Amino acid sequence: MKNIFIFAEQRDGVVSSAYYEMLSETIKLYGDRAFVSAVVFGYGNIPVEALKESGADKVYVLESKKLAEYEPMSYTTALVKLISDEKPDVVFVAASVIGSEMAPGVACALRTGLAAHCTELALDDKGELIMIAPAFGGKLLGEYFIPNTLPVMASIKAGVFEKAELPSKNAEIITVDASFLDDAEGGVEFVNRTVVELTEQPVEKADVIVCAGLGIGNEDNLAKARKLASILKASMGYTRPMVDMGYIENENSMIGSSGKMVKPKLYLGFGVSGAAQHLCGMKDSGLIINVNTNEKAECFAASNYKVVSDSGIILDELIKALEK
């Protein structure tokens, strides 16, 4: 029986979808050979009931003013202490902005190994965890084992595992005394939180994605792609160079090995070359259509339909046809 911890990120009392995905995959993988505990941090409005009913066996709750907002030193200190006390065999953390920062610090403090940004999990014939993650920028998949230290730690990309309908196990709630954090040095002061209103579905939840690659060419064509997305009620996705070149201001909608994993029903790419690092983030989409001037572009190998043409021309035609 493996004792498994899953760190449940929450904001304003809402558990992240990544937690449910990790829990579903853990139960699918281990069946009844694992005892699964959710770990949640916060201060007031902690979603204890949701976690109790989520299908986990146990929920560890750490409540402290120092854990009200994500702050790397306090979160790392709290997780290291809990793991040191409870000694789980395996710890899963989402490969989110928070998890990607916190997990290496926790692994380092515990002198154990961490497989980062995993996209698959498997068990070997002895029931030990094999963690699979894109390596060399997504060109190949690496299998990672952590044979000599515990816990085995992995950060998991959101959106790669299906969330299953799990029956409640009416989990036992353990309220952990977090007063050890009172005197702990934070190092980072929380100043303010700005809530950005989203005008479209987050790309990882979208049914339809219009993706702009560098071959979109200019701001005019990008505006056309956004117009098409609005007509189709789609979300916009981007390749990494679109972020690096400053066409968009953050990585929230970037697709690929260092961005989001997406599975829309329809993916429409304009000027996307189809580099391995991008393909690994969208290859599981339902219907894939790419527009590219180069008939030998790599994106076509992963496409259901290929359109060898200029992005601007096809965007104009599509908008005209759909606006009729």
CB of 274 to ligand FAD, least distance (A): 7
Residues near ligand FAD (CB under 6 A):
137, 213-215, 217, 239-241, 254-259, 271-273, 275, 277-278, 281, 291-294, 297, 310-311
For the record, the structure tokens of 81 come out as 């202490």
CB of 89 to ligand FAD, least distance (A): 31
Phi, psi of 181 (to 5 degrees): -80, -20
Q: Which is nearer to ligand FAD, 40 or 254 (CB)?
A: 254
Which residue in this structure is represented by tokens 């259509």?
Answer: 289
Which residue in this structure is represented by tokens 């790669």?
Answer: 160
CA distance 113 to 107: 6
CB of 175 to ligand FAD, least distance (A): 40
The answer to whether 189 touches 49, Cβ cutoff 8 Å, is no
The answer to whether 70 touches 42, Cβ cutoff 8 Å, is no
Query: DSSP secondary structure string, 125-194?
Result: TTS-EEEEEEEGGGTEEEEE---SSSSEEEEE-TTSSPPP-PPP--PEEEEE--GGGTTS---S------
CB of 108 to ligand FAD, least distance (A): 22
For 130-155, b where at least 16 C-beta lie within 10 A, e where not — what string? ebbbbeeebeeeeebebeeebbbbbb
Q: Which is nearer to ligand FAD, 30 or 300 (CB)?
A: 300
Q: Which is nearer to ligand FAD, 55 or 259 (CB)?
A: 259
CB of 171 to ligand FAD, least distance (A): 35
Q: Which is nearer to ligand FAD, 39 or 243 (CB)?
A: 243
Query: Residue number with the shortest CB distance to ligand FAD?
Result: 215
Q: Which is nearer to ligand FAD, 72 or 104 (CB)?
A: 104
Q: Which is nearer to ligand FAD, 71 or 310 (CB)?
A: 310
CB of 307 to ligand FAD, least distance (A): 9
